[in-house]
Amino acid sequence: MTDIPKLTETVFDVEVLQSNLPVVVDFTAAWCGPCKMLDPVVSQLSQDWAGKVKFVKLDVDDNSDIAIKYGVMGVPTLILFVHGNPVQRLSGYQPKERIISKFSSFL
């Protein structure tokens, strides 16, 4: 299983907004059951899309300013950023096929 880096607010701009690759930000929380269910799906996608998409995690409890900025009301929420802009989002647990169908047109 791939270890997906956990971001903090201090590196968010550099890692996400200034990235040359599209970035999927997994907004998550330590106490969140559906987040844990989503982890293996996100890990699998990060392997499937290696070199094409960057995957990062952001704990909403530790980084609430960013969660608020992007309107994340619940976790898990996946937001796809392309050239620093949020272009697509999914909230709640999602099967891999649904994530692919929602995000692949932007990749």
Give domain status of residue 60, yes or no. Answer: yes
Give domain status of residue 6, yes or no. Answer: no
Query: Given a cut of 80, is residue 1 above it in pLDDT?
Result: no
Give domain status of residue 4, yes or no. Answer: no
Give domain status of residue 70, yes or no. Answer: yes
Of 24, 29, 32, 60, which one is the catalytic site residue? 32
Q: What CATH number should be reported for the domain holding residue 57?
A: 3.40.30.10
Q: Is 35 a catalytic residue?
A: yes
Of 7, 24, 25, 35, which one is the catalytic site residue? 35
Give domain status of residue 5, yes or no. Answer: no
Predicted TM-score of the model (pTM): 0.96
Count of domains in the chain? Answer: 1
Q: Is 32 a catalytic residue?
A: yes
- pLDDT tens for 45-102 read 999 999 999 999 999 999 999 999 999 999 999 999 999 999 999 999 999 999 999 9
- Its domain, for residue 68, covers 17-106
The 3 state secondary structure assigned to 18-67 is CCCCCEEEEEECCCCHHHHHHHHHHHHHHHHCCCCCEEEEEECCCCHHHH
- pLDDT tens for 31-43 read 999 999 999 999 9
What is the pLDDT averaged over residues 18-40?
97
